[in-house]
């Protein structure tokens, strides 16, 4: 069994694999203030609730963009699953080549997405990952991770708008039925949601224009739920591409 843990700024996602089949995905909100005991309780409760059986011979991989959680999560995961632990970082074999200015600054979350894209969809592929930030990532026709565009995510955009406009209310992001907002809440949601949609589709179009060729397109990330029914039909919606990428990496490193 492989346990693939993807720690983002918004969610911690856990993929449970048996013989390379994704059995379950579990998730909980990222909270840097949680103690090891609290993290242990959350994870063991999720495993029990979802009837996940495991033993101490399980292999674990951790990808994290929240450094303050790395040590407590490693301690909790190895306590639950055993010591076969791999932290995605420098020196880990990924099977993905990079053609960027500084490969060392590429986050492990982006690497997981690209490895998942390469192994599931082939090349060239553009992955749009909607999390705390919205990332547009390119796996080019030669199989290199060679470019990215990063913008504020949907939730951040909404919060920034509310926090910086004295007369604007706080909104819970919802997909409005129409672009034409007839009240403040609908108008804000229209701008946030449909504006984000147009930004994504525009960036992807510009990627392809600069490249001079078409790419497969994948939409992923927790906030993809807001756009999955609105996005251009060329996009495949795949919420598991990162944990599947981590599973490929884990298998590559354990032989």
Q: Under a CB-based contact definition with an 8 Å cutoff, are residues 96 and 145 in contact? A: yes
Residue 254 belongs to some domain of the structure: no
59: Cα separation from own chain's centroid: 21
Mark whether 72 and 121 lie in a shared domain: no
CA distances from 193 to 52, 96, 135 (A): 36, 33, 16
Q: What is the CATH classification number for the domain harbouring 21?
A: 3.30.420.40
Catalytic residue at 109?
yes
**Residue closest to 203 by CA, chosen among 124, 147, 142:** 147
- Asked if the structure places residue 104 within a domain, the reply is yes
Name the E strands within the chain. Answer: 2-7, 11-18, 21-29, 59-64, 84-87, 97-98, 125-130, 133-139, 144-152, 216-220, 235-237
Q: Which pLDDT score, from 0 to 100, does residue 55 have?
A: 82
Catalytic one of 31, 37, 55, 109: 109
Based on the fold, state whether residues 119 and 26 are members of the same structural domain.
Answer: no
Query: 125-141: b or e for each residue (b if 16 or more CB lie within 10 Å)?
Result: bbbbbbbbbbbbbbbbe
Token pair listed for 86: 């791999």
- Pair 19, 78 in one domain: yes
**19 plus 145 within the same structural domain:** no
> Are residues 117 and 223 both part of a single domain?
yes
- Say whether both 61 and 170 belong to one domain: no
Instruction: Domain of residue 116: give its range.
Output: 97-244
The pLDDT assigned to 166 comes to 84
Position 150 in a domain: yes
Q: Cα–Cα–Cα angle for 5, 66, 217, nearest 5°?
A: 60
Dihedral (Cα; 44, 48, 51, 55), 10-degree rounding: 40
pLDDT in tens, the chain (255 residues): 999 999 999 999 999 999 899 999 999 999 999 999 999 999 999 999 999 988 878 999 999 999 999 999 999 999 999 999 999 998 999 999 999 999 989 999 999 999 999 999 999 999 999 999 999 999 999 999 999 999 999 999 999 999 998 888 998 899 998 999 999 999 999 999 999 999 999 999 999 999 999 999 999 999 999 999 999 999 999 999 999 999 999 999 996
pLDDT at position 121 is: 98
| Nearest-angstrom CA–CA distance, 93 and 16 | 21
Domain annotation covers residue 204: yes
Distance CA 44, CA 191 (A): 40
* Residue 67 falls inside a structural domain: yes
What does pTM read for this prediction? Answer: 0.94
Q: What is the pLDDT of residue 202?
A: 98
């Amino acid at each position: 069994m492989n346990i693939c843990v993807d720690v983002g700024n918004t969610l911690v996602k856990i993929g449970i694999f048996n013989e390379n089949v994704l059995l379950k995905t579990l998730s909980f909100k990222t909270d840097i203030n949680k103690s090891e005991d609290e993290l242990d309780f959350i994870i063991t409760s999720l495993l029990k609730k979802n009837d996940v059986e495991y033993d101490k011979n399980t292999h674990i991989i951790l990808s994290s963009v929240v450094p303050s959680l790395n040590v407590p999560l490693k301690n909790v995961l190895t306590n639950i699953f055993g010591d076969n632990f791999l932290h995605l970082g420098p020196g880990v074999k990924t099977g993905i080549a990079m053609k960027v200015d500084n490969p060392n600054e590429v986050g492990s979350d982006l690497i997981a997405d690209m490895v998942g894209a390469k192994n599931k969809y082939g090349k060239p592929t553009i992955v749009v990952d909607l999390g705390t930030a919205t990332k547009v990532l390119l796996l080019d026709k030669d199989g290199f991770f060679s470019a990215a565009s990063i913008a504020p995510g949907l939730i951040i955009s909404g919060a920034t708008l509310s926090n910086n406009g004295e007369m604007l209310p706080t909104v819970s992001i919802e997909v409005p039925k129409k672009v034409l907002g007839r009240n403040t809440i609908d108008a804000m949601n229209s701008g946030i949601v449909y504006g984000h949609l147009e930004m994504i589709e525009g960036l992807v179009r510009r990627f392809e224009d600069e490249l001079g060729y078409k790419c497969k397109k994948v939409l992923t990330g927790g906030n993809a739920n807001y756009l999955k029914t609105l996005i251009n039909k060329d996009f495949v919606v795949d919420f598991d591409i990162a944990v599947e990428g981590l599973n490929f990496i884990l298998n590559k490193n354990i032989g």
